[in-house]
Homo-oligomer: A and B are copies of this chain.
Amino acid sequence: MPVYNFAAGPAVMPAPVIAQIQRELPSLNGSGMSILEVSHRATDFDRIITDAEADLRALMQIPDDYAVLFMQGGGTGQFAAAPLNLATDKRRIAVLDSGQWAVKAAQEAAKLGRQVDVVASTRAAKYTRLPQMPDTLPAGQYDYLHVCMNNTIEGTAWHQAPRTGTTPLVADMSSNILAEEYNVNDFGLIFAGAQKNLGPAGVTLVIVRKDLVHQVPGLPSMLDYQLFMEKNSMSNTPPVFNIYAVGLVLKWLRQQGGVPEMQRRNEQKAGKLYAFLDQSRLFHNPVVSADRSLTNIPFMTGDAALDAAVVQAATAAGLMNLKGHRSVGGLRASLYNAMPLAGVDALIDFLHAFEQHH
């Protein structure tokens, strides 16, 4: 029985990448040494990190005036790094409150002494739709506006970057980077923890417009964009294996046809699941149609005990980690790039059969 992993993150990775890691684990490039043992100063690793950056640049069409950094600490690390590096002038940021991860970003910035203005929120609607970017965002008031592009918990996503005028846009893209096409030029800063759509947990991608990066006094080195930019992410030992694994995923993505092909597949996968849910008598997805995520799809019966029974039966059928986030309840299917269409079909078949026999 095949197993399909619908976890929100850490999450499914491409099977050929897992197979390649396994195959070459004892000896990288015939060196007799494992990627787990290879120095970050070795030629082999230099090629790995250089390739990873080049592949990411190709996949996202990242212009030369943006730096690509490999950092540690996940989204939470960037909730601190972004204000510490970029909110140094007005020390004031705007936030679009689209869900829990946006709230966490706002809280971290506030903890670090930044003024945080929530300029729009759909909290009252239980985040079942996206807040609307105000037309009136005042120019020159904010160091940046923070947006969580894909709300992993609530299942919403901006499919176009919110328009912020001259205010730089800082985007948490952890759960849909490379899942759909965006124009990097619309952003001042994009960051993403790897563990959803890029590889194993332990490395964080940062794409930042170079003119926004400057020397900030008194910054911890591990959060210092300028230092990471100057040292090509190797001021100290980077997470070698994690970068290697992300690099393999990026190569796999290019082989598959890149982001346009991923978006096509993700629209197909998500489209099939949403179509099922929208016609189901038992299950429903609470998000308004235009704001639905391609990668994270919450759904529920309305009866918590029944939801739990569905999760249990699904697990027994090899459909894993479907339990919804406790704040939303019900179930959640995460359909990242590495989730094959067959997994979505199996899920729909299962849900359909459950509904029939219910």
Given A39-B9, A72-B73; A240-B200 close (CB under 8 Å): yes
Give chain B nearest CB distance to A329 CB in angstroms.
Answer: 16
Contact B25 A37 (CB under 8 A): no
A306 at the interface (CB under 8 A from B): no
A108 at the interface (CB under 8 A from B): yes
Contact A320 B33 (CB under 8 A): yes
Give chain B nearest CB distance to A197 CB in angstroms.
Answer: 12
In the complex, chain B residues whose CB is within 8 Å of the CB of A219: 111
Chain B residue at minimum C-beta to C-beta distance from A21: B25
Select A37's contact among B11, B34, B202, B242, beta carbons within 8 Å.
B11
Inter-chain CA distance A2–B113, complex, in Å, is 56
Q: Is the interface of A mostly helix, strand, loop or mixed?
A: loop
In the complex, chain B residues whose CB is within 8 Å of the CB of A11: 37, 39
- Per-position contact with B for A226-239: 1 when CB-CB < 8 Å, else 0? 00000000011111
Chain B residue at minimum C-beta to C-beta distance from A25: B22
In the complex, chain B residues whose CB is within 8 Å of the CB of A18: 25-26, 34, 36-37
Inter-chain CA distance A25–B15, complex, in Å, is 11
- Per-position contact with B for A195-215: 1 when CB-CB < 8 Å, else 0? 100011111000000000000
Residues of A at under 8 Å CB distance from B? 2-3, 5, 7-13, 18-19, 21-22, 25-26, 31-34, 36-40, 42, 72-77, 79-81, 84, 108, 111-113, 193, 195, 199-203, 217-223, 235-242, 245, 318, 320-321
Other contacts beyond A8-B39, A77-B222: 18, CB < 8 A: A5-B32, A5-B37, A7-B39, A9-B39, A10-B39, A10-B237, A18-B36, A18-B37, A22-B25, A72-B73, A72-B77, A72-B222, A76-B235, A80-B222, A108-B220, A201-B241, A202-B202, A220-B220
